[in-house]
């Protein structure tokens, strides 16, 4: 049976091949994707329904398979394939970034910002440096949860000792909302600062990354200076 929408689909494909996606609306991008999984249905209508349900293309790609299946016309297979795109993009981006040498702090900061800003769950990158601020090692932590990261100050301190580090930098992302630190962020940072100080390792900064160029730096906001003063008062 010939697909009655074949002419429309072919025109969209040819348009993509000649122009790329820049001129496409969000629902048209979804149409192109849905062509691959839904051969005989009106994908234009389904694409519009997805945008109406989730608001933006980004929100569609960040939705879970169960959420996607709530939209009429989205099967189990289609839902999995849409959700898979986000994780494939993250894996691609991570692979590209990791192919570049990270031999100085500037490169590490670029790496962390680019990697974490594509994240759909909270992640943390811990960077260890020597006394001359030369890059030693990085470790990534993730809980696959939008609000928490499964890492303890003890784990970071153990690695600082293992790598003979003199300083530690933290980068983590807030998936939703503001980059302002939460109470849990502040508690974690203070505990880590105190524990590292006990072995003469400096917490250089803790940077929370958000959308676009938005970020919060504990150092720039003088929170680390406050912790140092507090630590000296209590330990003196």
Whichever domain contains 24, its CATH number is 1.10.150.20
Domain that holds residue 27: 6-93
Residue 208 or residue 214, greater confidence: 208
In this structure, the answer to whether residues 159 and 195 fall within a common structural domain is yes
Distances in whole angstroms, Cα of residue 162 to Cα of each of 17, 77, 116, 130, 158: 51, 45, 25, 12, 6
Whichever domain contains 192, its CATH number is 3.40.140.10
In this predicted structure, what is the pLDDT of residue 24?
87
Q: Mean pLDDT throughout 7-24? A: 84
In this structure, the answer to whether residues 84 and 105 fall within a common structural domain is no
In this structure, the answer to whether residues 125 and 201 fall within a common structural domain is yes
Q: Is residue 185 part of a domain?
A: yes
In this structure, the answer to whether residues 170 and 56 fall within a common structural domain is no
- Residue percentage of the chain with pLDDT more than 70: 82
Q: Is residue 69 part of a domain?
A: yes
Span 142-197, pLDDT tens digits: 765 555 677 889 999 999 999 999 999 998 888 776 889 989 999 999 999 999 99
In this structure, the answer to whether residues 206 and 120 fall within a common structural domain is yes
Residue 173 or residue 54, greater confidence: 54
In this structure, the answer to whether residues 130 and 76 fall within a common structural domain is no
In this structure, the answer to whether residues 144 and 116 fall within a common structural domain is yes
Determine contact, residues 60/54, Cβ cutoff 8 Å.
Answer: yes
In this structure, the answer to whether residues 155 and 50 fall within a common structural domain is no
- Alpha-helix residue ranges (DSSP H) falling in the chain: 6-19, 26-35, 43-54, 57-62, 65-68, 76-98, 105-116, 153-162, 183-197, 223-235
Q: Is residue 1 part of a domain?
A: no
Distances in whole angstroms, Cα of residue 1 to Cα of each of 69, 73, 165, 192: 26, 20, 67, 65
Q: Among residues 72, 93, 114, which one ends one of the domains? A: 93
In this predicted structure, what is the pLDDT of residue 131?
86
In this structure, the answer to whether residues 50 and 118 fall within a common structural domain is no
Q: Among residues 59, 93, 127, which one ends one of the domains? A: 93
In this structure, the answer to whether residues 80 and 107 fall within a common structural domain is no
In this structure, the answer to whether residues 110 and 221 fall within a common structural domain is yes
Q: Is residue 144 part of a domain?
A: yes
Q: Among residues 93, 111, 146, which one ends one of the domains? A: 93
In this structure, the answer to whether residues 125 and 15 fall within a common structural domain is no
Whether the per-residue pLDDT at 49 is higher than 90: the answer is yes
Count: domains in the chain: 2
């Amino acid at each position: 049976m010939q697909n009655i929408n074949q002419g429309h689909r072919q025109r969209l494909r040819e348009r993509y091949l000649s122009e790329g996606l820049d001129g496409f609306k969000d629902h048209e991008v979804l149409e192109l994707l849905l062509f691959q999984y839904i051969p005989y249905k009106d994908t234009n209508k389904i694409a519009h329904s997805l945008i109406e349900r989730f608001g933006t293309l980004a929100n569609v790609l960040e939705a879970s398979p169960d959420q996607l299946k709530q939209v009429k016309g989205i099967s189990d297979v289609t839902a999995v394939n849409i959700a898979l795109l986000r994780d494939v993009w993250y894996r691609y981006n991570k692979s590209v970034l990791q192919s570049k040498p990270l031999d100085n702090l500037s490169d590490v900061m670029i790496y962390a910002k680019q990697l974490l800003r594509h994240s759909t769950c909270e992640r943390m990158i811990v960077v260890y440096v020597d006394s001359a601020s030369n890059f030693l090692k990085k470790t990534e932590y993730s809980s696959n949860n939008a609000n928490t990261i499964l890492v303890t100050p003890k784990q970071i301190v153990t690695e600082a000792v293992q790598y003979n580090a003199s300083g530690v930098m933290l980068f983590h992302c807030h998936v939703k909302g503001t980059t302002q630190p939460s109470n849990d962020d502040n508690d974690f940072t203070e505990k880590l600062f105190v524990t590292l100080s006990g072995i003469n390792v400096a917490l250089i900064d803790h940077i929370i990354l958000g959308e676009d160029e938005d970020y919060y730096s504990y150092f720039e906001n003088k929170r680390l200076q406050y912790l140092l003063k507090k630590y000296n008062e209590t330990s003196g």
